[in-house]
Structure 1
Amino acid sequence: AAWLENHQTFGPAIENWRSRRAIPAKGKWLACLMLCVSWSVLLISGAAPVVLLATGLMFLGLACYLLTRASY
């Protein structure tokens, strides 16, 4: 834990999350992009409709959560 907290790349993100529940804007958009890519892979690979619906709803909820957090 100490190594991550003192890391020059990860430390500030951890501190901002702990103090303000903030997520960097770049991280939010990258996460949302990856959610879309993941769902598209499921669609292209022929996943069952129930799987597409369940993951779609889960990904949508996660994206809403991410996008409503503060940015820094």
Structure 2
Amino acid sequence: MKTLFWRALVVIFVILAGIGAVLPGMPTTVFLILAAWAASKGWPQMDAWLLKHPKYGPTIRAWRENGTVPRQAKWWASIMMLVSAIVMLFTPAPFWVKVFTNLTMLTVAIWLWLRPEPRSSLVGVKET
């Protein structure tokens, strides 16, 4: 039962990451990091697959090892959240929903930019 729970979470997070890959405003990497976390709890084969993925594996490993987020991922996430915030302003959603959603995205963007970056993504920094 416990394994089924973790695997269900993995599937949900991978689906959300897939949606995020094509839908502006939805993150991809964050959901893949969550999928890898859930996979590490109850689906070792999926965990290994995610960690070996050619595109997302290095980011997931960097997060797991050092809590780092590449600068390019920060920029893409921030741009997508900004686009989503602007689009949200023109929707018929209630005002409080617009405020809550946009403040949530702003909070996530601030938190994201406070995360350290992997050494390899820091331009002009010499390794010692």
1:7-26 map, 5 Å: 7-26=53-72
Gaps of 5+ in 2: 1-46, 119-128
Using CA pairs below 8 Å that are at least 6 residues apart, which structure has the higher relative contact order?
1
Normalised by the size of structure 1, how large is the TM-score? 0.89
Gaps of 5+ in 1: none
Normalised by the size of structure 2, how large is the TM-score? 0.53
Q: Which moved more, 1:61-70 or 1:5-14?
A: 5-14
1:5 is aligned to 2:51: yes
Which of 1 and 2 has greater Rg? 2
Q: Which residue identity does 1:2 align to in structure 2?
A: A
Q: Which moved more, 1:16-25 or 1:51-60?
A: 51-60
Moved over 3 A (4+): none
Considering only aligned residues, what root-mean-square deviation do their CA atoms show, in Å? 1.1
Question: What is the distance in 2 between the residues matched to 1:50 and 1:8?
Answer: 41
1:1-72 map, 5 Å: 1-72=47-118
Cα offsets for 1:10-65 (capped at 9, x unmatched): 21111100111000100001001111111111112233211111112111110111
